[in-house]
Structure 1
Amino acid sequence: MESSLALLQDPAAWAALATLVAMEIVLGIDNLIFISILTNKLPLEMREKARKIGISLALLMRLGLLATIAIIVKLTEPVFTILGQGLSWRDIILLAGGAFLVWKATREIHHHVTADEEGESNGTGKVVHSFSAAIGQILLLDLVFSIDSIITAVGMTEHVQIMFVAVIAAVMAMLFAATPLANFINRNPTIVMLALAFLMMIGMTLIAEGLGHHVPKGYIYTAMAFSAAVEGLNMLARQRRQARRARGEAP
């Protein structure tokens, strides 16, 4: 109790909390994009429920991992060596999660390119996945992103209280942003392809991290922000062309 009161009076603790919340929200974008794309494949009445369950599982998983933080810290210690490269449990999890993301993004891109030719759609251009399969895939990626998130938190502060507050705040932000983001992606088909490309890039980054090659997150998110800005300009141009056509003007 006394240690918590001391943290409340420490400006450095508040600065660490603000920084960690911002970092956790940024790291949560990857998870949120995946959840949005996956739940948009479900029937309309199931999507909101799946998003809430997926994000709630992410929160429970991260809080559970924080409760076993001594074990999480040890996950970075090499357990065996392959071709001179030491691999820890964290590396193995990142490799598996990255490979899954690359496979999933590639499969979804293939579907979006060939769905009309193969007749795989349900009339809306989307494959209907089972609710349990969607939750299972969300849970798998939640585990990967949660471990990465907690290890990042451990590297930024030694106070478990700050980690708990930051994780809860970040996941709450994800919960509020999930439906608007999913609806935005659903309304703009070109955004789906861009988001899938982001997931593939994130998957490759996780694989690189798992192999011991650190990729600065700033480069990744700057590239994502630049691509999103370009796509935003394309969307604005399309809207203006459509508006001119509606008025009977030349494009």
Structure 2
Amino acid sequence: MKKLIKLIVVLLLASLLVAPGAFAKSDNAKESLVAVGDSIPFGLNLGQTNQNPAKTSYPYLIGKLADLRVRNLGVPGWQSDQLLEALQTDQKYRQAIIHSDYVAVTIGNNDLLAILREAATESGGNQALFQQLLQLKLSQSDVFSNIQQIITEIRSLTDSPIVLYNVYNPFQLTDPLHYVADAVLPNINAAFAGLAFANEDVYLADAYTAFGNNQALYILPGDIHPTNAGQAKLAEIGLQALSLY
């Protein structure tokens, strides 16, 4: 019996000695950033094949500058309902969020572009009708309801700070759509600001103001996606929003 008690005491002491190193998270382990959303965090058209996220996309730049591990789960073409479904049902997304230290969300751009195209097609070139249709379709869209649900779903999985990117103007100054977008984006981005304000530890990255009218520098020619300089600007405002500078 004495030998058994002695053995138990030895095992308990041994477990106490090894527990900090064996079971606790290492103090030297890097924190992680998980980026979810569309082609913007993916870095579409910056790589040679678009098979994988571009290493010059803003999540990787944030990771490099803030010494974070990065999981880039951006998917080109995704709208808000697709991201919401993934966060609700796909274990790859759910587990990534659970193990995150920071989360970056860029979504809604494709929803809004689809609305813009629908209004342009249905108006048949009638500018007054186009504006009416655009406002009507925006008011009927569930994009902001979806984004709120996305935030709620993320928050159910982690208490990590979230940076929410709003919508920059993707059209060059020579494109008439630039001025159409500038007329509607302030109200759209006010909704993004409202979502950030209404949710705890959600911080707005103001891509619209950061890009301003510098599309020639920040947007790829003949495209709507950021250049390397544009991705660097998105990384800069993300770092600022998360106070990682």
TM-score class, shorter: under 0.3
Q: Which has the higher helix share?
A: 1
Q: Which has the higher strand share?
A: 2
Relative to the length of structure 1, the TM-score reads 0.24
Relative to the length of structure 2, the TM-score reads 0.25
Largest Rg, 1 or 2: 2
